[in-house]
Amino acid sequence: MSDILDPKPDESPMRWDLDAIFPGGSRSEVYRDFLRDLERDVRAFAERLSRDEPSLAELVESWEDLAARLREAAAFAECLTAQDVHDAEATALSLWVREIAAKFEAALADVDRILLAADEAAFRAFLEDPAGGEARRAIAPVLEERRRRAAQKLPPEQERLVAALGADGYHGWHAVYAEVAGRIRIEVEHDGCRETLSVAQAQNRLEDPERAVRERVFAAYERAWDSLAHVGAQILNHLAGYRLTLYRLRGWDDFLREPLEMNRLTRPTLEAMWAAVEAEKPTLVRYLKAKADLLGLEALAWYDVDAPVLRRPSAEEQKVPYAEARRTIVRNFSAVDPEWGALALRAFREGWIEAEDRPGKRAGGFCTSFPITGVSRIFLTYGGTKGSFATLAHELGHAYHQWVVRHLPVLAQGYPMSLAETASTFAEIVVQDRLLEEAAAEERLSLLDDVLRRAVAYFMNLHARFLFEVEFYARRREGFVPREELDRLMEAAQRRAYRESLSSYHPLFWFSKLHFYLTDVPFYNFPYTFGYLFAHLLHHTYLEAPASFADRYRDLLRDSGRLPVETIAQKHLGLDLTDEGVWRRAARHAVRHVEAFLQEARK
């Protein structure tokens, strides 16, 4: 146990090891051979489905094999392009993977056709066949869901055409955004010298304790994005236009239908959640006002929200060294579940994490899993700020989630973003809560601020993104939305979400935020808030019964890829997620530290 709680510093590299998966990086011949074999087998799978109908057992076996290999390939390509946005070979490999994925997605239209054509009695017999064992029972809800959704789409041959055109159309626009955003550079002056920052490095500077630094970097950040905003407007409009056209052809009137189905939750649950968030926002506005007072401001600007509250120590004194972050995370994960702590320690020691702060890296953070290799890889730019510390814990929560489900059939591992963000956010909460319990008096204000900044992000920042997208999609139905109108919509959404509590906003957020341009998950916002609040419900459960929590948590995670979230909440926590009162309890738990912050601020 002591080995888990106090890992040695020299056993935690800050650069990940990709060679353990496919040696050679973007020049790997092993990876290229893997892609050639995958492409050949996807083509054979598609050809077979087009000329005959395999048994359901054969269909599922081939489907799962190809899905696992495609996830392995896509995860590696994502790592390559993230670690060096200038790696042309990585970009080409990523495009190759997307082309294979498009062919596989097109083949799945025939999978849907076969599922729909199956006689109800035969389909039920297949699901309930004892010979299928536990694996068959695990994927039964997934197959039923797939069959039901297929009946609500275009005819299979048309869906196959949609998928085939998506590689160079729909998904191609995301690739254009990634290329444009990856080339943005932020030019700033620092100590009399001009400095060029990547987007990720500039974002870390927005947590600098000196307001002049934040203001200068943010102004340069806005100028950089503004210079290409006309391109961003084109990309965003075409992505939304593609989605809306497809929805119209399918006969879907509600543009929230797909994101709700993908997250396996219903509109009543979403509405109950946002109503609870709105009800607790006044509490967070009090926090923002108190923070502004501490910083000597009438009101916070957008670039002040993540600023540290203690101005006197130097930036270096306020940073969390990587080794300290590692020790804190491993120790606190282990307190909840020793298996969780051991997994985190393995991630640090075995090079699962790309944390180095260097130019050329993609902005943001992610965790991606390799279902065949059985490991994960975590990407971020660790700048020593509390924000990057929280991101590290967050991504390790994702890694644990994937570790728990790794032995399930691949089709039962496809948990929605809503529950993916539950596991990652619960990891953040566990670490932050324990830090608060153990904090010395001089650290308490800063730690409380860090916890409440996260609440602002989930209650206000993400709500602004949701409000923007709802309004944008409504306008896009009527035609192209110009760049200037996008700015206005974004600022209006931020003003509403933050209750007019800031002195300035970020109108170009619609361009600078990658999440608006992702093509695998539309409305990449409300699932974060869902995950955050559901994680607080889990944390409340943990505090009430810590001894039995680890087993309950693992059981919940194992169900996350196969059941609707409302069913999971009822089964494992006894909660009705359509009840606003449940979400109010979660929201109050999330903002419970505001009073303590106000008291500390008055000292």
Q: Supply the pLDDT for residue 261.
A: 95
Region 482-508 average pLDDT: 98
Q: Global pTM? A: 0.88
**Eight-class DSSP state of 457:** I
Contacts of 38 (CB under 8 A, 6+ apart): 66, 69, 70, 73, 100
Q: Supply the pLDDT for residue 318.
A: 63
Q: Is the pLDDT of residue 436 over 90?
A: no
Say how far apart CA 398 and CA 428 lie, in whole Å.
11
**Each residue of 434-458: b (16+ CB within 10 Å) or e?**
bbbeeeeeeebbbbbbbbbbbbbbb
Q: Is the pLDDT of residue 12 over 80?
A: no
Cβ–Cβ < 8 Å for 224, 186: yes
Pairing of strands 186-190, 353-354: unpaired
The lowest-confidence range among 29-33, 98-102, 361-365, 592-596 is 361-365
Say how far apart CA 100 and CA 298 lie, in whole Å.
54
Q: Supply the pLDDT for residue 11.
A: 60
Pairing of strands 353-354, 375-379: parallel
Cβ–Cβ < 8 Å for 78, 17: no
Q: Supply the pLDDT for residue 166.
A: 85
For 375-425, what is each residue's pLDDT tens digit?
999 999 998 877 788 899 999 999 999 999 999 999 999 999 999 999 999
Q: What is the mean pLDDT of the chain?
A: 92
Q: Tell me the chain's radius of gyration from C-alpha atoms.
A: 24
Q: Is the pLDDT of residue 534 over 90?
A: yes
Question: What are 499's two structure tokens?
Answer: 């209750």
Q: Supply the pLDDT for residue 190.
A: 76
User: Does the domain made of 17-176 have the CATH classification 1.20.140.70?
Assistant: yes
- Helix ranges (DSSP H) in 337-373: 338-349
Q: Is the pLDDT of residue 1 over 60?
A: no
Q: Is the pLDDT of residue 315 over 50?
A: no
Q: Which residue, chain included where needed, has tokens 């800031």?
A: 502
Q: What residues does each domain of the chain span?
A: 17-176
Question: What are 407's two structure tokens?
Answer: 């032995």
Q: pLDDT > 90: what percent of the chain?
A: 80
**Eight-class DSSP state of 361:** P
Contacts of 442 (CB under 8 A, 6+ apart): none
Q: pLDDT > 70: what percent of the chain?
A: 97
Question: What are 239's two structure tokens?
Answer: 């992505």
Contacts of 8 (CB under 8 A, 6+ apart): none
Region 318-332 average pLDDT: 90
Could you tell me which residue, 197 or 470, shows the higher pLDDT? 470
Confidence band for 169, pLDDT divided at 50, 70 and 90: confident
Say how far apart CA 23 and CA 29 lie, in whole Å.
8
Task: For residue 194, give the H/E element and its range.
Answer: strand 193-197
Helix, strand and coil in the chain, % to nearest 5 = 70, 5, 25
Q: Supply the pLDDT for residue 207.
A: 86
- E strands, 348-484, are 353-354, 366-370, 375-379
For 22-46, what is each residue's pLDDT tens digit?
999 999 999 999 999 999 999 999 9
**Three-state SS letters, 5-68:** HCCCHHHCCCCCCCCCCCCCHHHCHHHHHHHHHHHHHHHHHHHHHHHCCCCHHHHHHHHHHHHH
Say how far apart CA 400 and CA 406 lie, in whole Å.
10
Task: For residue 548, give the H/E element and its range.
Answer: helix 546-559
